[in-house]
Each structure stands twice: as C-alpha cells, then as structure tokens.
Chain A
Amino acid sequence: DIVMTQSPLSSPVTRGQPASISCRSSQSLVHSDGNTYLSWLQQRPGQPPRLLIYKISNRFSGVPDRFSGSGAGTDFTLKISRVEAEDVGVYYCMQATQFPHSFGQGTKLEIK
C-alpha cells in the first residue's frame, strides 16, 4: 500500500504571506497510463473536502491562481502565494494511482 506523508502538520501563516505544504509518497505515483494521480484537497471547518489541484499541478475550476501544485514521482508540493483568511482549513494530498487510494495526514493552515 502507498503511504502518503505530509509536512508540516500545522502551519500558522500571516495573511498575505506565502505557505507551502509538502507531500511524499512511499512509492512512485506514476500510473502505467503515464499520468500521476496526485491531488490536493481543501477542507474548511464543518465542510466536506473539495478539490483544489489534480494530476499534480492542474487547478480545479474556480480555484484562485494563488494556489499551485508541483512535483513528480514521490515528492509533491502545494503552494499558496499569498494566504487569505478564507484559506483556513485542513489540506490533504491524495493518491489515486493505485488501490487502495490513500491520503496524507492533513496539514492544518491557520492565520497567525
């Protein structure tokens, strides 16, 4: 099974400052079809998760361009260029390359 490891688990950030979350997988996430099924999800307090980024770096419709994803193989990063108050919540990386699918532990983003 693929284990997803995120860091940090908690990230206090000043509004307007950047934030970065790292996600590492225990195996390569490159699928036999050539795609890498690594996504980032945001879960605001009291809400279900919602997709931010799919296939490493593609922003979901309506996601602000201050969110960006990068990486390859086993190492991935989510960056927020300028954190805003509405970005508070928990961020998860998720791999859907192999069954069982799996999530990182989550990174709690809060405003200082």
Chain B
Amino acid sequence: QVQLVESGGGVVQPGGSLRLSCAGSGFTFSTYGMHWVRQAPGKGLEWVAFIRYDGRNKYHADSVKGRFTISRDNSKNTVYLQMNSLRAEDTAVYYCAKDLRGWENYWGRGTLVTVSS
C-alpha cells in the first residue's frame, strides 16, 4: 500500500535551517509529482510547494519563496524540503502528499517543525 513517511522535524531557532524528508513506497515514486503542505497549530492547511515527477518544474508559495526549496531524489524515492531563514510563523506540522488532483491522493502523517528561541 502507499506510504509516505516524513522525517527531519524538530526545534530550531529563528533564522536557522532544517531539511525535511519524505520517503515514498508502495507506488512508482518517479512518476508522481509531490507536494508539501503545512498546518500551524490549531489552524488550517496551507499548501507550501510542488515538484514535478522529474524535478524539472517546481512551485513554491509566496510565503516561503526564497527561503524554502523543494527537491527530490528518485533513486531514493524521497522528496525534500530545505527550509532556511526560519521564522516563528513557520511553526507547523509539515505533510507530504501525492497527487492532489486525483484519486491517488495520499498524505503522510506529518513531521512537526517548531521555530523558537
């Protein structure tokens, strides 16, 4: 079955960096675009970034543009989110998800990022 497992979350100081990973299994990873979506504590969902199946196209939300970068390694079935210049407002559970358009939409369980001094 499809599994998406996020890792790399933790506590980081404002201005610091963190790299999140999401390992996919149970599907042909290299043929799917992948997304990161976040959810601040007690708040709703916010789309963060997308990378095409081959890595050639990437999109980032304005709120993270220039600070976060999505990437992938299809040989490792893994998508990444490099987060730099972190701010308190980036504190959230970060989910990776596949196929937000159709019937193969799955989500991981998320990893918590806390930005605090």
- When distances are taken between beta carbons in the complex, the residues of chain B under 8 Å from A60 are 103, 105
| Chain A, interface residues (CB within 8 Å), range | 20 to 34
A49 x B107 contact (CB < 8 A): yes
Judged by DSSP, the binding face of A is loop
- When distances are taken between beta carbons in the complex, the residues of chain B under 8 Å from A39 are 100-101, 105
B45 x A99 contact (CB < 8 A): no
Q: Which of B44, B50, B108, B109 contacts A92 (CB 8 A)?
A: B44
- When distances are taken between beta carbons in the complex, the residues of chain A under 8 Å from B103 are 51, 54, 58, 60-61
Cα-based distance from A35 to B44 in the complex (angstroms) = 26
A29 shortest CB reach to chain B, Å: 11
Cα-based distance from A103 to B81 in the complex (angstroms) = 20
- When distances are taken between beta carbons in the complex, the residues of chain A under 8 Å from B45 are 41, 43, 49, 92, 94, 103, 106
- When distances are taken between beta carbons in the complex, the residues of chain A under 8 Å from B110 are 48
Cα-based distance from A1 to B61 in the complex (angstroms) = 10
B50 shortest CB reach to chain A, Å: 7
B72 CB-CB contact with A under 8 Å: no
- When distances are taken between beta carbons in the complex, the residues of chain A under 8 Å from B107 are 48-50
B105 x A101 contact (CB < 8 A): no
Closest A residue by C-beta to B97: A49
Q: Kindly identify, within residues 56 to 112 of chain A, every residue whose CB is under 8 Å from any CB belonging to chain B.
A: 58, 60-61, 90, 92, 94, 96, 99-106
B40 shortest CB reach to chain A, Å: 12
Q: Kindly identify, within residues 42 to 65 of chain B, every residue whose CB is under 8 Å from any CB belonging to chain A.
A: 44-47, 50, 59, 61-62
B42 shortest CB reach to chain A, Å: 11
Closest A residue by C-beta to B57: A99
Q: Interface digits, B83-117 against A, CB 8 Å rule (1 contact, 0 not)?
A: 00000000000010000111101111110000000
A48 x B108 contact (CB < 8 A): yes
**14 A-B contact pairs sorted by A residue (CB < 8 Å):** A35-B101, A37-B102, A39-B105, A41-B45, A49-B37, A49-B45, A51-B103, A54-B101, A54-B102, A60-B103, A99-B50, A101-B50, A102-B47, A103-B44
Other CB < 8 Å A-B pairs besides A92-B44, A103-B47, 8 of them? A37-B100, A39-B101, A49-B37, A49-B45, A51-B106, A61-B103, A94-B45, A100-B62
